[in-house]
Structure 1
Amino acid sequence: MTTDTPTPQEPIPETSAAETGADSAATKLAEVEARLAEMSDAYLRAKAEVENIRRRSEEEMSKARKFAVESFAESMLPVMDSMDAAIALPDAKVETVLEGVHATRRQLASALERNKVLEINPSAGTKFDPHQHQAISVVPAEQEPNTVVMVLQKGYSIAERVLRPALVTVTAPK
């Protein structure tokens, strides 16, 4: 038999607006705290990464400074070997020694060139350049004023930076 009696229903809990607001605030607070923890972790990881990069960069710079001349020194070793060989022959004839000196100079010039050390040796009549030349004297001459007459000492540059300017005599202004 079926009866049409109503079944008891569970009572719907009545929530006040204050409780709903408190639950919502607590949920938002939990979300904000989770987000804060996530961002704090990301910050600490980023900070550690930056510190690692800084440390690695310092190590690389230290190694670069320490071994910067390694290639240059390596190219100078054959020059040193040639000089040692010349010293080992104390009774050599002057012609032989002079020939060895010329060969050693060619080795040295080649080693300097391989390492981007280039001569500054202006020819006569070249316009005086105060960035590459140092005028030692000014003389009257039959060429354009303010031009090189003679090179007294070659200059050298490395990677377009002057190591030593060429010492030159320059023509006087007219």
Structure 2
Amino acid sequence: MQDQDKYAEQAAMDEASKAEQPAEPAAATAAAPSLEEQLAAAQQQLQELQDAFLRAKAETENARRRAQDDIARAHKFAIEGFAEALVPVKDSLEMALLVETPTIESLKEGVEMTLKQLSGAFEKGRLLEVKPAQGEKLDPMKHQAISMVPADQESNTIVAVLQKGYMISDRLLRPALVTVAQ
């Protein structure tokens, strides 16, 4: 029975404390947004986020497409500078063929001038000659040994260059063809 009295006494105290607490003011409940208002605000925020996402996605797609176009243009016109440097060489050769009675001296002078133009075009295009000197050590990354010949120099050194090689910047275009000492 004592337990029941304790429970009853506790319940009476709880009721009294509830009665002492002031009721929520009417203004506070009116200021709190209703569930419908909260839902509408959340839906508006969702719509704004979806719109921002779609705009960001479209901008990313446009940037990707622009990058692909830039790469395609770079590939298409990569040799434009080199081609511009070669056009005067072709013009010089065509002019030389138009001369009706060329002399040996004029032909030689024209060929030398054209070779100078071509060398300038090669420099502009970073096309470098690979012409090893006699006695230089064979470099398989730049030279191709065609044959080995007996020579009075160290083994695996270059005896003669049969054909120059070429590099574009640091990339081998064609190795130099050489004969090597046995």
TM-score w.r.t. structure 2 length? 0.76
Q: Could you say which residue in structure 1 is the equivalent of 2:93?
A: 83
Does 1:73 pair with 2:78? no
Question: For the residues of structure 2 that align with 1:124 and 1:142, how far apart are their CA atoms?
Answer: 12
Look up the equivalent residue of 1:168 and give its one-letter code. Answer: V
CA deviations on 1:33-57 (whole Å, 9 max, x unpaired) are 3332222112101110011111211
The ranges of structure 1 where at least 4 consecutive aligned residues each deviate by more than 4 angstroms after the TM superposition are none
2:120 is equivalent to residue 110 of structure 1: yes
Q: Deviations over 1:124-167 (max 9, x none)?
A: 11121111111111122222221211110000111211111111
Deviations 1:103-130 (A, max 9, x none): 1111101111111001000101112111
Instruction: Show the counterpart of 1:126.
Output: 136
Aligned mates of 1:35, 1:138 — CA distance in 2? 81
Aligned to 2:88, the other structure's residue is in SS state helix
AA partner of residue 48 (structure 2): E
Specify which of 163, 167, 171 is matched with residue 161 of structure 1: 171
Output one character per residue of 1:4-26: Cα deviation in whole Å (capped at 9) or x when no partner.
xxxxxxxx77xxxxxxxx945x5
Unaligned runs of 5+ in 1: 1-11, 14-21
Identity %: 49
Select the structure that is richer in helix.
Answer: 2
Partner of 1:142: 152
Q: Which has the larger radius of gyration?
A: 2
Query: How many equivalent residue pairs?
Result: 154
Measure the CA separation in 2 of the matches of 1:95 and 1:39. Answer: 80
Note closer, same or farther for the CA distance 1:31–1:129 as it changes in structure 2 (3 Å cut). farther
Distance 2:148 2:94 in 1: 42
